[in-house]
Amino acid sequence: MTQPDLTFDEILTTTRAVRKRLDISRKVPRALLEECLELAFQAPNGSNKNLWRWIIVDDPDMVAKLGAEYRLAMGILQSGQQTSMFSDTSDSREEAKLLESAYALADKIEQMPALLIPLMPGRAEGKSVVEQAAMWGSIVQAVWSFMLALRSRGLGSCWATVTSRREKEIAALLGIPYEDYTQVGMFPIAYTIGTDFRKAWRKPVAEVLRYNRF
């Protein structure tokens, strides 16, 4: 079975960063991706301007080229630069598990059935906080909705921003005018191997929530 039978709350709590369990042997139909995007586009966005642009790459040669960029971006990490996405866990075993999973994705990303690159107009560099809040706040919900829609259909993805380290090179490969668009990240897309994903650890609400003042 590829289409899991999940409640809304189950989709919210079990949509994981899928890396090892992406099935690279199975093609993903474009119609299915377009269906997921249709759903994602119902997400809120600033003044409903729909400024986003979306590129899905499913040409195997191009996927391979972008996959190579992904690996190069990971290579930069390997040579010692720490990244915030992997440094926010106090448990080093957890961190090791995460890194192992991250490199497992890098190993096979060149063979993904599809990759998604969402774009927002303008360069993030130099934007004020107000402008940045509007920019990121007009795309993140849609991307997450897309990932939830994938999950409900038996597919998975992984939010990956490491590719921003190779944004210029990726822009050149895809013909994106670098000065005019900022890439949100690169999202591998595939059916998942099995559909049983679990709830993840998060800090408890009581630890991070305050009422009425900081």
Instruction: Tell whether residue 162 is a contact of ligand FMN (CB under 6 A).
Output: yes
Segment interacting with ligand FMN, rule: CB under 6 A, options 6-14, 29-37, 129-137, 158-166: 158-166
Among 6, 11, 13, 17, binds ligand FMN (CB under 6 A): 17
Q: Does 104 bind ligand FMN (CB under 6 A)?
A: no
Q: In the structure encoding, which two tokens stand for residue 89, read together?
A: 């866990």
Distance CA 205, CA 31 (A): 39
Cα 170–Cα 175–Cα 179 angle in degrees, nearest 5: 80
Give the nearer residue to ligand FMN in terms of CB position, either 30 or 144.
144
- Among the listed ranges 1-9, 24-32, 129-137, 153-161, the one in contact with ligand FMN (CB under 6 A) is 153-161
Q: What count of other Cβ atoms lies within 10 Å of the Cβ of residue 2? A: 12
Among 98, 148, 173, 174, binds ligand FMN (CB under 6 A): 98
In the block, tokens 């301007």 appear at 49
Q: Determine which residue in the list 22, 102, 120, 176 makes contact with ligand FMN, applying CB under 6 A.
A: 102
Instruction: Determine, following the binding rule CB under 6 A, whether residue 200 of this chain makes contact with ligand FMN.
Output: yes
**d(Cα 142, Cα 55) in Å, to the nearest integer?**
14
CB 52 within 8 A of CB 118: yes
Give the ranges where the chain is alpha helix by DSSP (H).
8-14, 30-40, 60-78, 84-87, 92-108, 129-136, 140-152, 167-174, 205-208
Q: Rounded to the nearest whole angstrom, what is the least distance from the CB of residue 77 to ligand FMN in the complex?
A: 9
Q: Which two tokens stand for residue 82?
A: 């720490």
Shortest gap between Cβ of 160 and ligand FMN (angstroms)?
4
178 is a contact residue toward ligand FMN (CB under 6 A): no
Q: Quote the crossing angle between the two packed helices 140-152 and 30-40, to the nearest 10°.
A: 130
Q: Is 99 in the site for ligand FMN (CB under 6 A)?
A: no
12 binds ligand FMN (CB under 6 A): no
**Residue 199: CB minimum distance to ligand FMN, A:** 9
Residues of this chain that interact with ligand FMN (CB under 6 A) are: 16-17, 19, 85, 98, 102, 105, 158-162, 200
